Structure 1
Amino acid sequence: MARARISAEVGVPAFRAALAAVSVDSGGVDGSDRPAADRTTMATAVRYSLQRLAERAEGNTVEVRVPPYGAVQCIPGPRHTRGTPPNVVEMDPTTWIELASGRLAWSQAMEAARVHASGTRADLSAELPIRDLAGAGS
């Protein structure tokens, strides 16, 4: 059974709230008075932004994982059907929100080892940031 789509009316506010709660410089804790995003908000933000990535870069060549909240397959190319995909990108939710918003560049995340990417097509730099998150980021 396919997961229900998250509407922009729900996803964009959740993404904005999650983005407000994270900071590139301190891994999500910046010492400000901004509240941390609760688990439900962060889950919705991650799932909505992954959904937008999959819509923007349709395909099944790369699996993007943001545990424990979600995973999608994207990027055009050979379809993966069994076992561990040959192209996998995995990161924590804070890193994903920062990448999706443009607050963190792909190259910076890779250099800082905040993203684990394997496979010849496991480079999301052309797809990030996801500008159509209704101005939620950069």
Structure 2
Amino acid sequence: MNSYKELIRNAFKAVVENPTYDPTTIEKYFSRDYRQHVDGEELDFDNFCKHMKAQKLAIKYSLIDFQTMVEEGNIIFTNHAVKIQTNEDRHALIHVIAEFRVNDGKITYCNELTRLVSGDERERDLGSRR
């Protein structure tokens, strides 16, 4: 891995954009000690896995567009957009600002804010849905 930014990009490609739920892939990128704070919710590793599984049940595809990534030490800030299509053929655009921390080659922490830019209100909770 050349940088932590590359780790974040690869994790999003393998875990978030991949339409298949695969706990082994999640463990490749995310520490078992992982904690995520998103829109007032706190997820530990197991709840993050439930969250990813719920997303896979609801979403046909998702595409991440990293507009800005800043790396300082083991901290990475991202400003990115997530385009999704649900299994019911609804489309949404979600804006995300996130801080990640990496330790021992895995993502250990995320603090993010999500905002539904366009799409059905039913997609508003996709950042924390379980």
Same topology, TM > 0.5: no
User: Which category describes the TM-score, using the shorter chain as reference length?
Assistant: under 0.3
Name the structure where helix makes up a greater proportion of residues: 1
Name the structure where strand makes up a greater proportion of residues: 2
TM-score, normalization by structure 2: 0.27
TM-score, normalization by structure 1: 0.26
Q: Which has the larger Rg?
A: 1
